[in-house]
Amino acid sequence: MAEWQNALLSDSASLTQAVNMLNEASLRIVLVVDENMRLLGTITDGDIRRGLMHHVSMDDAVSTVMNNKPV
């Protein structure tokens, strides 16, 4: 079983880092946190695909495509 701590990423990380984390963590979700480990949002592969369709660069910060109101 994968550990959720392996899916934590800073909001300043790039989309490339998020894709790598999605592949490595095997949880199918990335949890975007601030420096105090508070949840800011989530990212799935669908969020990244939608961002790419809107011409977001893979070098942009994950905050450009993250779901900032996760349930």
- Can you give the pTM of this predicted structure? 0.86
CA 33 centroid distance within chain:
9
Predicted confidence (pLDDT) per residue in 39-60, tens digit? 999 999 999 999 999 999 999 9
Give the span between the Cα atoms of 20 and 58, in whole angstroms. 11
Q: Residues 6 or more apart from 22 whose CB is under 8 A from it?
A: 28, 29, 30, 43, 44, 45, 48
Single-letter amino acid code for the residue at 60: D
Predicted confidence (pLDDT) per residue in 8-51, tens digit? 999 999 999 999 999 988 889 999 999 999 999 999 999 999 99
CA dihedral sign, ordered 63, 8, 45, 52: positive
pLDDT band for position 2 (50/70/90)?
Answer: low
